[in-house]
Amino acid sequence: MAKLPVTEEELIEKYGPHLNVAPPGGWNAGLDIDREVKTHCCFCGQQCGIKLKVKDEQVVGFEPWYEFPFNQGKLCPKGVKRYLQGAHPDRLLDPLERDPSAEGGFKVTTWDSALDRVVAEIRRIQAEYGNDSFAILSGVSITNEKSYLMGKFARLGVQTANLDYNGRLCMVSAGVANKKALGMDRAPNPWSDIPLADVVFVAGSNVAECSPITTSYIWRARDRGAKLIVADPRVTPLARTADVFLGLKPGTDSALMGTILHVLIENDWLDHDFINAHTVDFDSAAEAVRTYTPEWGSQVCGVPKERIIEAARLWGTSATGMLLHARGIEHHTKGVENVLSCINLGLATGKYGKPGCGVSTITGQGNGQGGREQGHKCDQLPGNRDIANPEHREYIASVWGCDESEIPGKGMSAQEIMDAINDGEIKGLLSICFNPVVSLPDSNHTAEALSRLEFYTAIDFFMSESAQFCDVVLPGTLQEEDEGTTTSVEGRAIKINQAIAPPGNARKDWEIIIDIAERLGRGKYFQFDDTEDIFNEMRVASRGGTADYYGMTWDRIEDEFGIFWPCPEEGHPGTPRLYEGGRFAHSDGKARFHGVAYRDPAEVIDDEYPIWLTTGRVVSQYLSGTQTRRIGPLVEQYPEPLCEMHPRLAAQLGVESGDIVNVSSRRGSMSLPARVVESIRPDTVFIPYHWPGAQAANQLTNRALDPLSKIPEYKVSAVRVEKGDGHRKIYDRRVTTLQEKGQSL
């Protein structure tokens, strides 16, 4: 049923992406403003403080917020231009109903009729196929309050088990590994620990482009004399400045970390006291890497063995050290193992629970940390509780005022939901803050699946590529149009302040959700007057869980520039650094080593598909690009995906920079310009994933999942690259366009 109502061109014509290039009123409109609102950037988990300038109830610009301690005014280009997502011509202002005869494929409708239809379809589908045949997909660019509400709404409002979130595509493997090894899923350190490290090891994280503000922390460490190790198949902008660069083959991360552990053991660069006092199972970790000699590691990873030994020496002999990792090691069928192999390095050298020491994931999404604690994961209840644990269920049922049996059990994960939709097992879908057509792997499969839904509704502020498949589109809120809290990469809960009201007939997301719950006859569970009400229930729900927000209030969060959880009782200062004194969150207080044996990725190169493909982000775009592909200055910076390849590979293919190449995998193929650069391994190509349709890198990627965390393997696919037809001039980003501008001063 849910195929695109009209052609893609007609949808784009009507709903964009169009580009917002200047503030409302234009650049010449002057700078006198009505007020500045202290809040945070909506793009990425760093959650930088920013002041938004408001004039005539529109966001017209920004001012650095120097006092906010995390970024002290610093911003990346996305932060600088985030304000241009407001007053946007593509903004959805009315509820829309699919109508192939209407311009752009949708007709404007009223909230009443839209919500009645949503509720009728939920009822019909659940009556016909069972409660779990209606699924909900949520996201973690929304606030803690909304994340909490989505979890409760799915369980008690819609009464489905099948709720999951797009954090599943983010750092969930790190979360699982942290829980397994340390007993808790949170970055163990405040970022202020990074400058205290004597060695900083960045593994699989393009810090400069995906978490740019972290760069300043790393440089602060280096200004103290710290050494920098970077492991990445590409010489990313930060890697260029590294002391030791490990340009490893995609998918070989655990081999690299295993080899480093081998070298640490070999040279006795270990902290035996720490291992003995605070950990268990060191022997199994050591046994697993017994044969991982530098020669072996060098061969598997494609990295000179001297560099691996040097990295091990720096890590093992430095008194303090931070290992930072991100999607580069987490987006794998071995995501959990990769992270465990990093944690092993931290535990073996005693780098936990003290200043300048820790192994931490750099969460990617806006509320990637907080959103994964409040209970909108398929296996989780608020406070990072386990949905299968009877005690946890009992407690949450008491907070919610329902019977424990009313809370459904564990549901499917995000990719599994999409697969079940494709198999006809799930018939209806409600999504918020999720653009699966662009962000899930194997995007042809995703589009096919969405076309099979009997009913699909999305809450969105722009007509995302997934919303285009909807029967009903509900206009929700941009981050600056509502208030609430998020929890940043550091585990610091911070306050998002409302700058302006939702425009037109758009409504606040939580009001829409509560309205649907009421129409479903479940209103008694959703008696909230405002967002702070939701927060106050949420902090009670989190009480006693690992992610304990109970002691926090909105006022304190604002006054103290954020509070680190756990904050178990009122007056508690919060907990910036975890595991102080080597006390881990497992019941015995000890951390667990894990034996990590290297295994191949789900797909390996062969004669037919002889090149590795890895995917990632560029600094000017955020995730599936629903927002950032509509901001002109950001689009100018990197307008279309380019296929990065090494000159050696390019020479084999007869390709020069700008030549169109055809890249194909077992799932699909795409054509795009090549960018020939020496900054990538000769056996690997890289394509950024922010674009939809024919430009989607995810046409090529693999749906294979990590068995434990269910994270897909975005970072390794086998592809074939051939020279295609045509050539495109590739500019050095904005330089040319800027010089040509000059109309308005």
Partner 1 sequence: MVIRTGTGGIDVRASIWGLVAVMITLVGVYFGSGSLRWFDAALAGYLIGVLLAVWATVYRYLVWIQRPPTAVLNRRGWESFRSKGKVGRNVGGLVGLVFTNILAQGFIRRRSVARWAAHQLVFWGCILAAAVTFPLTFGWLHFESVGQSGDQYKAYLFGIGTVAFPAESLIGFVMFHTLNIAAFLVIGGVLVFLYRRLRDPGALAVERATDFLPLVGLFAVSITGLFLTASSLWLEGRYYSFLTDLHALTVILGLLYIPFGKLFHIFQRPANLGVHYYRRAGAEGEQQLCRVCEQPWASKMQVDDLKFVLPQVGFDYSDGSGGNWQDTCPRCRRTSIALAQTNRVGGFG
Partner 2 sequence: MNPLVQGKMFVIDQSRCIGCEACVQACEECGTHRGQSLIHLEFVDRGVSTQTAPMVCMHCEDPTCANVCPADAIKQNEDGVVQSALKPRCIGCSNCVNACPFGVPKYFALPDQMMKCDMCYDRTSVGLAPMCASVCPSQALWYGTPMDYNETRRGELIHEYRFGNQVVPTKVATVVDDRTFGPIDVMGEPGRDRWQDDPFGLEEMT
Binding region for partner 1 (CB under 8 A) = 28, 30-32, 222, 228, 241-243, 743-745
Q: Residue 652 Cβ, how far from partner 2 at the closest point, in Å?
A: 14
Q: Rounded to an integer, what distance in angstroms lies between the CA atom of residue 83 and that of residue 462?
A: 15
Q: Residue 561 Cβ, how far from partner 2 at the closest point, in Å?
A: 18
Structure tokens at 306: 């001297």
Structure tokens at 297: 């590691």
- Whichever of 322 and 719 has its CB closer to partner 1, that residue is 322
287-294 contacts: CB < 8 A, separation 24 or more? 287/595, 288/258, 288/595, 288/596, 288/597, 289/258, 289/259, 289/261, 289/262, 289/265, 289/596, 290/262, 292/255, 292/258, 292/259, 292/261, 292/262, 292/598, 293/259, 293/262, 294/259, 294/262, 294/263
- Whichever of 101 and 744 has its CB closer to partner 1, that residue is 744
Q: Residue 669 Cβ, how far from partner 1 at the closest point, in Å?
A: 36
Q: Residue 198 Cβ, how far from partner 2 at the closest point, in Å?
A: 14
Binding at 37: pick from partner 1, partner 2, none (beta carbon under 5-8 Å per type): none
- Whichever of 76 and 506 has its CB closer to partner 2, that residue is 76
Q: Rounded to an integer, what distance in angstroms lies between the CA atom of residue 188 and that of residue 197?
A: 14
Across the strands, what pairs with 228? 200
- Binder among 12, 44, 76, 177 for partner 2 (CB under 8 A): 76
Stretch that binds partner 2, among 142-150, 186-194, 240-248, 447-455 (CB under 8 A): 240-248
CA atoms within 13 A on the CB side of 643: 36
Please give the backbone phi and psi of residue 681, each rounded to the nearest 5 degrees, phi first.
-60, 145
Q: Residue 172 Cβ, how far from partner 2 at the closest point, in Å?
A: 26
Q: Residue 254 Cβ, how far from partner 2 at the closest point, in Å?
A: 20
- Whichever of 123 and 733 has its CB closer to partner 2, that residue is 733
- Binder among 33, 80, 102, 597 for partner 2 (CB under 8 A): 80
Binding at 228: pick from partner 2, partner 1, none (beta carbon under 5-8 Å per type): partner 1
Please give the backbone phi and psi of residue 163, each rounded to the nearest 5 degrees, phi first.
-125, 130
- Whichever of 303 and 697 has its CB closer to partner 1, that residue is 303
- Whichever of 1 and 738 has its CB closer to partner 2, that residue is 738
Q: Residue 35 Cβ, how far from partner 1 at the closest point, in Å?
A: 16
- Whichever of 33 and 399 has its CB closer to partner 2, that residue is 33
Number of H-type helices and E-type strands within the chain: 24, 30
SS3 for 593?
A: coil
Please give the backbone phi and psi of residue 529, each rounded to the nearest 5 degrees, phi first.
-90, -35
Binding at 32: pick from partner 2, partner 1, none (beta carbon under 5-8 Å per type): partner 1
- Whichever of 109 and 298 has its CB closer to partner 2, that residue is 298
User: Do 120 and 114 meet the contact criterion of CB atoms below 8 Å apart?
Assistant: no
Q: Residue 735 Cβ, how far from partner 1 at the closest point, in Å?
A: 8
- Whichever of 41 and 156 has its CB closer to partner 2, that residue is 41
Subset of residues 721 to 740 that bind partner 2, contact rule: CB under 8 A:
732-735, 738-739
- Binder among 10, 124, 131, 237 for partner 2 (CB under 8 A): 237
- Binder among 11, 44, 75, 342 for partner 2 (CB under 8 A): 75
For residue 543, how many other CB atoms are within 10 A of its CB? 17
Subset of residues 626 to 685 that bind partner 2, contact rule: CB under 8 A:
633-634, 637, 647-648, 657, 675-679, 681-682
Residues near 267 by beta carbon (within 8 Å), at least 6 away in sequence: 312, 313, 316
Binding at 671: pick from partner 1, partner 2, none (beta carbon under 5-8 Å per type): none
Cα-Cα-Cα-Cα torsion 509, 439, 5, 18, nearest 10 degrees, comes to 80
Give Rg (Cα) of the chain. Answer: 25
Q: Residue 76 Cβ, how far from partner 1 at the closest point, in Å?
A: 20
Tell me whether strands 35-40 and 49-55 are parallel, antiparallel or unpaired: antiparallel
User: Do 254 and 341 meet the contact criterion of CB atoms below 8 Å apart?
Assistant: yes
Q: Rounded to an integer, what distance in angstroms lies between the CA atom of residue 40 and that of residue 46?
A: 9
- Binder among 1, 7, 8, 31 for partner 2 (CB under 8 A): 31
| Greatest CA separation for the chain | 73
- Whichever of 654 and 742 has its CB closer to partner 1, that residue is 742
Question: Rounded to a whole number, what is the distance in angstroms from the first to the last CA of the chain?
Answer: 51
Q: Residue 252 Cβ, how far from partner 1 at the closest point, in Å?
A: 24
In degrees, rounded to 5, the angle at the alpha carbon of residue 170 between the alpha carbons of residues 190 and 492 is: 25
Structure tokens at 285: 């970790």
User: What are the Cα distances from residue 388, in Å, to 153, 161, 179, 355, 721?
Assistant: 18, 12, 16, 36, 46
Q: Which candidate, 408, 370, 405, places its Cα nearest to that of 138?
A: 370
Q: Residue 651 Cβ, how far from partner 1 at the closest point, in Å?
A: 22
- Whichever of 228 and 557 has its CB closer to partner 1, that residue is 228
Question: Mind spelling out the 3-state secondary structure of 680-710?
Answer: ECCCEEEEECCCCHHHCHHHCCEEEECCCCC
Q: Residue 313 Cβ, how far from partner 2 at the closest point, in Å?
A: 16
- Binder among 58, 131, 241, 317 for partner 2 (CB under 8 A): 241
SS3 for 137?
A: strand
Q: Residue 633 Cβ, how far from partner 2 at the closest point, in Å?
A: 6
- Whichever of 228 and 611 has its CB closer to partner 1, that residue is 228
Would you count residue 742 as binding partner 2 (CB under 8 A)? yes
For residue 37, how many other CB atoms are within 10 A of its CB? 17
In degrees, rounded to 5, the angle at the alpha carbon of residue 332 between the alpha carbons of residues 327 and 335 is: 80
- Whichever of 101 and 739 has its CB closer to partner 1, that residue is 739
- Binder among 66, 555, 694, 726 for partner 2 (CB under 8 A): 66
SS3 for 726?
A: strand
User: What are the Cα distances from residue 314, in Å, to 256, 271, 332?
Assistant: 15, 14, 27
C-alpha dihedral sign at 385, 578, 74, 170: negative
Would you count residue 79 as binding partner 2 (CB under 8 A)? yes
- Whichever of 77 and 356 has its CB closer to partner 2, that residue is 77
Subset of residues 298 to 327 that bind partner 2, contact rule: CB under 8 A:
298, 302-304, 306-307
# residues near partner 2 by CB under 8 A: 70
Q: Residue 214 Cβ, how far from partner 2 at the closest point, in Å?
A: 8
Subset of residues 340 to 399 that bind partner 2, contact rule: CB under 8 A:
none
Site string (589-628) toward partner 2, x via CB under 8 A: ------------------------------xx--------
Please give the backbone phi and psi of residue 48, each rounded to the nearest 5 degrees, phi first.
-60, 140
Q: Residue 742 Cβ, how far from partner 2 at the closest point, in Å?
A: 4
Subset of residues 157 to 216 that bind partner 2, contact rule: CB under 8 A:
208-209, 212-213, 215-216
Tell me whether strands 563-564 and 492-496 are parallel, antiparallel or unpaired: antiparallel
- Whichever of 36 and 558 has its CB closer to partner 1, that residue is 36
Q: Residue 107 Cβ, how far from partner 2 at the closest point, in Å?
A: 37
Binding at 682: pick from partner 1, partner 2, none (beta carbon under 5-8 Å per type): partner 2
User: Do 225 and 232 meet the contact criterion of CB atoms below 8 Å apart?
Assistant: no
Q: Residue 222 Cβ, how far from partner 1 at the closest point, in Å?
A: 7
Q: Rounded to an integer, what distance in angstroms lies between the CA atom of residue 39 and that of residue 50?
A: 6
- Whichever of 229 and 429 has its CB closer to partner 1, that residue is 229
Contact residues for partner 2, defined by CB under 8 A: 22, 26-28, 31, 61-62, 64, 66, 73-77, 79-81, 208-209, 212-213, 215-216, 219-220, 222-225, 235-241, 245, 247, 298, 302-304, 306-307, 619-620, 633-634, 637, 647-648, 657, 675-679, 681-682, 732-735, 738-739, 741-745
